[in-house]
Amino acid sequence: MGMPFRSPVFWVVLTQVLFTTSDLIGRSAMKTHGFKAASFFSFWFLAYWLLRQLAMFGQLYVFSTFELGRSMALFGAASIVLSNVLGFLLLRETLSLPVYVGVSLAILAFLSLALLPAKA
């Protein structure tokens, strides 16, 4: 069994958690402060920007180390899954049944990409 930090899935999930966390910070701040110039000269924006930069470096690492097609598919599926789970748990957002079916399909796609070998 290999080290977890050598796995593209580890880096994709970590990077996507950072992006999604910054998205939640931005969503909350924009709802509270509004989309105006002063909002971008505050602590929340600095935290938002730093998280996104850190996530970007992780994303660039994934792109430079692993297959592009598989990496992008993992990023997409991880984004859908994390956004919906956090939306439900933290924001108390509920979606329609067809949307949850789509999210379930994204979860299955993520699992197949994460667990199946890269080359047959």
- Break the chain into its structural domains and give their ranges: 4-115
Is there a contact between 74 and 15 (Cβ–Cβ < 8 Å)? no
pLDDT at position 74 over 90: no
pLDDT at position 1 over 70: no
pLDDT at position 65 over 70: yes
Q: Give the pLDDT band (50/70/90) at residue 54.
A: very high
- On whether the pTM is more than 0.75, the answer is yes
In whole angstroms, how far apart are CA 72 and each of 8, 9, 45? 11, 11, 27
Write the pLDDT tens digit of every residue in 40-52.
888 999 999 999 9
